[in-house]
Amino acid sequence: MKRRDFIQLTGMSAGAMMMPFTSFASPVELSRLLDPLMDVQQKKQLADIALNTTKSLGATYTDVRIGRYLNQFVITREKKAQNIVNTESFGAGIRVIVNGTWGFAASNNVTAEGIKKTAERAVAIAKANSKFQNEPVKLAATPSYGEVSWKTPIVKNGFEVPVKDKVDLLLSANAKAMEKGANFVNSIMFLVNEQKYFASSEGSYIDQDVHRTWPNFNVNVVDRASGQFKSRSAFSAPVGMGYEYLDGKAEDKIEGPGGIILYNKSYDIVEDAGMAAEQAKQMVTAKSVEPGKYDLVLEPSHLWLTIHESVGHPTELDRVLGYEANYAGTSFLTLDKWQSKKFNFGSKIVNIVADKTQPGSLGAVAYDDEGVKCKKWDLIKDGILVNYQAIRDQVNIIGQKESHGCCYSQNWSDVQFQRMANVSLQPGKEPLTPQQMIAGVEKGIYIVKNGSFSIDQQRYNFQFGGVLFFEIKNGKIEGMLKDVAYQSNTQEFWNSCAQICDERDYRLNGAFNDGKGQPGQSNAVSHGSATARFNGVNVINTGRNI
């Protein structure tokens, strides 16, 4: 099992404590998750108490977030359900600017009295902080949107689906994997509902209802004769969709090179589990790779993580400025490279965008957590670095007047700050399928699904593994490989990008647990791409002793 999958699966089954829960999160009955705690007008009345209180105490800006965060985990292993976990976290966070300085306070006492006291505390914190403030906070202007609302456009609310149906589905997937030869299998269904209400002293009152779904499993096959074992995790992508994602419609399946079945708008977990067991058996007897230079054909379920680590993180402006240096590192994409307007990040076919509005993505919302309307913007254009990811108190540093709308907090109890948007490689402009791409490769490797990785603190030098590896010889897939990892640096790698399949092959993948900040917070983010080819990349053998 790869490190990332192990942490995700074992963390969830141990009580799901690795996800964005605060000390205020508590187990609840399923029926409670379906009951609204407060209507929009009640939230507005409480928000106005905070806004009026902070204004009377000298705040020049205030925003209020009243949030209810629901999570459900359904956890199984082989023939048994191991755990059902429902959690709820409800409270309010208030952020102010006083004397040009930020202050923040939060409370789970969501009453008129509790809100007033929290507002007073936020102002007191800002005044105390202002003694150490060198320059006043400068917020980019944003319109007042009045009273607006937005919901993830789901077809079926996963929280309304009976738990028994979810358990039965996961156990069916486990049974299919064991029928096909798996020795061990564990599966998880993770549902998220963020009910977020935002109000600001600029006149916006924004109500949003956000849903995310992630079915996942890990299949293990043991070859007792050789003492080897191999694991294959699910081909599912975590999505900003409802339970309809698990419909497994035939038209949403993609037959990829090597005879594998991939998934796009819906997902068949039972079919995938059976295929996973068969592939894990093949992985045991696969040929170990010969180190050397290869042309890599990277499938979207693999490439998303490389995009996340080598493009998403280094284009975050707070990393560039050194604000995250202590915990998450800095960035090689320093301001001078952007200011030159000619820094060659990648080849001319590399176009990468940030987008908080992309349907079905984990990061899709209409407004960010400081009331800015979300949008899509260029990061890399024709291979050149053209922009960063920045929020209201950052864009003035790079001479821009409008926030990019990528501010987020994992919970009402945490202060919002700049977080990664959905960052995606745009598909190629010329018609090209993965099969056609492979036909042009003489010596290469086709890689499916992300595995372990390592990257330095500036997001420059890296190593990435995967799950499935297929050898390409003279334009044909010859069989499965194992022990594969590739090494490069970000600029060299993206300049080696020679082909990108067209929009027919474009798919989203992503992660629920992008970590950042002190105290740490988790962010859910998607990354899209079509299959892409990278020429002359150094491949090492991870199974050999040196």
- Residue ending a domain, among 285, 315, 346, is 285
How far is C-alpha 427 from the chain's CA centre?
Answer: 20
Alpha carbon distance 215, 165 (integer Å):
13
**Same-domain status, 272 and 306:** no
Q: What's the CATH number where 237 sits?
A: 3.30.2290.10
Omega within 30 of 0 (cis) for the link into 519:
yes
pLDDT for 342 equals 96
Burial class of residue 334, CB neighbours in 10 A (0-12, 13-18, 19+)? middle
Residue ranges of the chain with per-residue pLDDT less than 50:
1-24, 546
Beta bridge mates, 523: 514
**Same-domain status, 260 and 304:** no
**Same-domain status, 323 and 241:** no
Alpha carbon distance 300, 447 (integer Å):
9
pTM of the model: 0.93
- Residue ending a domain, among 241, 267, 285, is 285
Is 546 within a domain?
no
**Same-domain status, 150 and 298:** no
**Same-domain status, 247 and 335:** no
pLDDT for 490 equals 98
**Same-domain status, 266 and 354:** no
- Residue ending a domain, among 285, 301, 323, is 285
pLDDT for 4 equals 43
140-143 contacts at long range (C-beta below 8 A, 24 or more positions apart) = 140/392, 140/393, 140/395, 140/396, 140/400, 140/401, 140/402, 140/403, 141/401, 141/402, 142/202, 142/204, 142/370, 142/371, 142/372, 142/373, 142/392, 142/402, 142/403, 143/373
**Same-domain status, 315 and 274:** no
Q: Identify the three-state secondary structure at position 458.
A: coil
**Residue with the two structure tokens 């291979």:** 383
- Per-residue pLDDT tens over the stretch 330-351: 999 999 999 999 999 999 999 9
Which phi-psi region, left, alpha or beta, contains residue 211 (left: φ > 0; alpha: ψ -120 to 50)? beta
Is 48 within a domain?
yes
The domain total for the chain is 2
pLDDT for 200 equals 98
**Same-domain status, 219 and 323:** no
